[in-house]
Amino acid sequence: MPGFKSLTLPILFKTAEGPAGLEKAMDDLFSRVNQAIQDGINVVVLSDRGVNSEWAPIPSLLAVAGVHHHLIRAGTRTRVGLVLESGEPREVHHFFVADRYGCGAINPYLAFETLDDMIRQGLLTGLDHKTACKNFLKAAVKGS
């Protein structure tokens, strides 16, 4: 049956393993993306949710660009779309670069949560969550 079939993959590595853990996590990510494509997945969400003292996020641009170029080398890039779900993107430049590095969509969840917090604290007066997020995304998209 045609349509979208998605899978969310973590972009995290064990902090205790340091740079070697980051390299291993990238290799594991490439393998998991390859397997996802073989399983018929056509949208891969790269997510850094789950960060804590044990797990650090792979820098989002490293993850997106790494997967993008890995898939180009494998000849499978056109078979899958990449989505980034990250707390990292918050400035226009972050959105622009992620787009140019092969990301088709971005969920900047921490930016949205920050807007909610600012509304609760009275720092954004006259705005509700929906309007604040809409304004934020409009600025990010128009700026990039």
pLDDT of residue 144: 63
Domain 6-107: which CATH number of 3.40.50.2300, 3.20.20.390, 3.20.20.140, 3.90.1150.10: 3.20.20.390
The residue behind tokens 């056109």 is: 78
From the number of C-beta atoms within 10 Å of its C-beta (0-12, 13-18, 19+), residue 107 rates as: middle
Q: Answer whether 144's CB lies under 8 Å from 92's CB.
A: yes
Residue 140 pLDDT level (bands cut at 50, 70, 90): confident
Percent of the chain with pLDDT over 90: 84
Tokens of 98: 């992620």
Whether 2 shows a pLDDT value over 80: the answer reads no
Least confidently predicted of 15-19, 55-59, 105-109, 138-142: 138-142
Residues across the chain: 144
- pLDDT at position 55 is 97
List, for residues 110-126, the tens digit of each pLDDT value.
Answer: 999 999 999 999 998 88
Is the model's pLDDT at 66 over the cut of 90? yes
Q: What percent of the chain has pLDDT over 70?
A: 98
Answer for the pair 101, 60: CB distance below 8 angstroms, yes or no.
no
Q: What is the pLDDT of residue 81?
A: 97
- In this predicted structure, what is the pLDDT of residue 1? 53
Identify the helix (H) or strand (E) that includes residue 74.
helix 60-74
Name the token pair of 101.
């590095």
The pLDDT value given to residue 20: 97
Pinpoint the residues of the chain covered by CATH 3.20.20.390. Answer: 6-107
H/E element, 46: strand 43-47
22 touches 13 (CB < 8 A): yes
Lowest average pLDDT, out of 43-47, 92-96, 103-107, goes to 92-96
